[in-house]
Chain A
Amino acid sequence: MIDTQKFLQEFKEQYVDGEATGMTMDSEFKKFPSWDSLTAISLLAEIKYRYNVDIEEDELNGCSRVADVYHLIEKKIAHA
Chain B
Amino acid sequence: MHSAYIIDTTYFLPGILVDNEKINAEHPEWSVDKISAKTGIEKRYYAAENQTSGDLAYIAAEQFFEKGIIEKKEIDFLILCTQSPDYFLPTTACILQDRLGLSKRIGAFDFNLGCSGFVYGLGIAKGLISSGQAKNVLLITAETYSRFIHPDDKKNKTIFGDAASVTLISSQSVTGAGKILNFSYGTDGSGAKHLMVKNGGLRHIEKGSGEDVYVGDEFYSNDDYLFMDGKEIFDFTVFNVPGLVNDCISKNDISPEDVDLYIFHQANQFMLERARRMSKIPVEKFYIYIKDSGNTVSSTIPIALHHAMENNVIRKGNKVLLCGFGVGLSMGATLIAY
Mark A residues whose CB is within 8 Å of B.
16, 33-34, 36-38, 41-42, 44-45, 48-49, 57
Contacts and interface: CB of A to CB of B under 8 A. Distances in A.
B231 interface: yes
B34 A41 contact: no
- Chain B interface secondary structure, helix, strand, loop or mixed? helix
B37 A45 contact: no
Contacts of B234: 41-42, 45
A45 B238 contact: yes
Interface of B: 34-35, 37-39, 155, 230-231, 234-235, 238-239, 270, 274, 278
Contact of B230 (A16, A33, A41, A49): A41
Contacts, number: 34
B312 to A, nearest CB: 30
Contact of B270 (A38, A44, A48): A38
A46 B155 CA distance: 22
A38 B38 CA distance: 8
B239 A49 contact: yes
A42 B274 CA distance: 8
Contact of B278 (A16, A44, A49, A57): A49
Given A45-B238, A48-B235, A49-B238, A38 B278 contact: no
B266 to A, nearest CB: 16
B38 A37 contact: no
A41 B35 contact: no
What 9 A-B pairs have minimum CB-CB distances, sorted nearest first? Answer: A41-B231, A41-B234, A45-B238, A38-B38, A38-B270, A41-B230, A45-B235, A42-B274, A16-B37
A45 B239 CA distance: 8
Given A37-B155, A42-B270, 11 more contacts: A16-B37, A33-B34, A34-B34, A41-B230, A41-B231, A41-B234, A45-B238, A45-B274, A48-B235, A48-B239, A49-B238
A71 B238 CA distance: 25
Given A49-B278, A57-B231, A36 B35 contact: yes
27 contacts: A16-B37, A16-B38, A34-B37, A34-B38, A36-B34, A36-B35, A37-B155, A37-B230, A38-B35, A38-B39, A38-B230, A38-B270, A41-B230, A41-B231, A41-B234, A42-B274, A44-B231, A45-B234, A45-B235, A45-B238, A45-B239, A45-B274, A48-B239, A49-B238, A49-B239, A49-B278, A57-B231
A34 B190 CA distance: 33
Contacts of A36: 34-35, 38
Contacts of B274: 42, 45
Contacts of A49: 238-239, 278
Contacts of B270: 38, 42
B32 to A, nearest CB: 12
A42 B230 CA distance: 10
Contacts of A34: 34, 37-38
Which of B37, B39, B239, B274 has the most chain A CB within a 10 Å cutoff? B274
B233 to A, nearest CB: 9
A34 B235 CA distance: 21
